[in-house]
Amino acid sequence: MTAEIDSLLAARRACFQSGKTRSLEWRAGQLAAIRAMVTERAEVFHDALWKDLRRNKVDAAVADLNAVADEADYARRRLRKWMKPQRERTPFFLMPGRTTVQFDPLGVGLIVGAWNYPIQLVLSPLIAAISGGNCAVLKPSEVSPASAAALAELVPHYLDRDAISVVTGGVEETTALLEQRWDHIFFTGAPSIGKIVMAAAAKNLTPVVLELGGKSPAIVDASADLAVAARRIAHGRWLNAGQTCTAPDYVLVDKTVAPAFLDRLKAAALDFYGPDPQKSPDFGRIVNARHFDRVKKLLGAGTIHHGGQTDRDDLYIAPTILTDVPPDAPVLQEEIFGPVLPVIAVESIDAAIAQVNARPHPLGLYVFANDGAVVERILAATASGDAAINDCAVQPIIRELPFGGVGNSGMGKYHGEWGFRAYTNARGVLRRGAGLDPALRYPPYSRYSRLRNWIMGIR
């Protein structure tokens, strides 16, 4: 295995060193090819996502295929502007001169994808890598095998085989890949594995982007529109059966409106998926038996306000609302990654802020309030990778926004120009001619001291 990976990486590095990937034409062509792949072979990807996660076509199109196609188009239209060196001011004492910042490709990157959005979370980082002019090796998650197989089959047919490769397999293959010297590593997954990736990268001082998730809170203030808040939280939590890194992981609701909010949250669940969500074509499944068993154990904390039904043979766990959950319960300590939503009544917004700050910084923070002062107070007193007001889990589709975590929820940002910057080295360049070389720059400094001190601001 190591010999195979050595050979693969050497071939990608030779491609990068040839300069092939640096041109605007190559980058734009590869981005167009990504778009063509996810549109022309959409049925292959739909079938894979159904097999892996029972993801319906609407969610698969919006969250995976259309998201990738739109991001590729967005980058392709803006590449010329992103690649153009930025002109900066040259200090007077270095005139005549020209100062610029140019964005150089990093080299060959490793992209380790996640299983919950197994197409998007491989191809979206690849769009950033290509935009920056890099080669890449893709490692899809073995937990979503049908999607991994689809990528392994289609990527070589659409993209430049000299520059981009797919490696399938499990822990052994990922471990072997991480032992190599890369120019960049992009990882999406759990914080526990993120630490392993970062430790491997540290051996070669390799830059990383880590997208790690965490427990993203939703805070519902008494001023919120409860019906809208309930629908949007329900959609964000139960999309993909709760297996979304940006999903609201728990709700902190003002105690004065908690009963009314719970009623509306239950109503939203019934409206979305009916009285028997197992029969709904719009509700997904847990990815495998191991994760099913893990999530099922979390149902024992607190009181089941709604849902709670399970079927291991079908990998089905119903959309579930929990109340009266003890603070030390596992469902409030670990990222759920399933269709279980704890709802906690709090005395005040200050109490909600205190609960958020008692945990590691989350990937997302969601505030539902019509009182602007409450919104600003929460934003000022907390930290998160990103945030949304009166919505949740949709902010990643905005290409102009940086997407990524902070602290325990990750490091580094991508999407749009932020992805381009993550995959390039901002290289400062000073260009000067040799025609003018005044002596006042050089020792002895007693010579021309007044003029030198005035020009260089020495006091």
Please count the CA atoms within 13 angstroms of the CA of 200 that sit on its side-chain side. 22
How many Å separate Cα 265 from the centre of its chain? 27
Rounded CA separation 414/132 (Å): 12
Beta strands at 208-211 and 410-411: parallel, antiparallel or unpaired: antiparallel
Query: Positive or negative, the Cα torsion across 183, 202, 119, 396?
Result: negative
Q: Is 402 exposed, middle or buried (0-12, 13-18, 19+ CB in 10 A)?
A: middle
Beta strands at 424-432 and 97-105: parallel, antiparallel or unpaired: antiparallel
Element (H, E) at 104: strand 97-105
CA nearest to 345, candidates 405, 386, 396, 305: 305
How many Å separate Cα 363 from the centre of its chain? 9
**Count of Cβ atoms closer than 10 Å to residue 263 Cβ:** 14
Q: What amino acid is encoded at 396 in this protein?
A: P
CB 63 within 8 A of CB 247: no
Listed in order, strand segments (DSSP E) in 214-315 are 216-220, 248-254, 303-306, 310-311
Tokens, residue 373: 């002062």
Query: Positive or negative, the Cα torsion across 168, 172, 173, 178?
Result: positive
Rounded CA separation 4/341 (Å): 44
Tokens, residue 185: 């590593």
The DSSP code for 184 is E
CA nearest to 230, candidates 205, 257, 207, 203: 257
Please count the CA atoms within 13 angstroms of the CA of 74 that sit on its side-chain side. 20
CB 265 within 8 A of CB 234: yes
Beta strands at 310-311 and 386-389: parallel, antiparallel or unpaired: unpaired
Which single residue is written with the structure tokens 């959609």?
235
CA nearest to 88, candidates 78, 69, 75, 102: 102
Element (H, E) at 109: strand 108-112
Catalytic positions are 211, 245
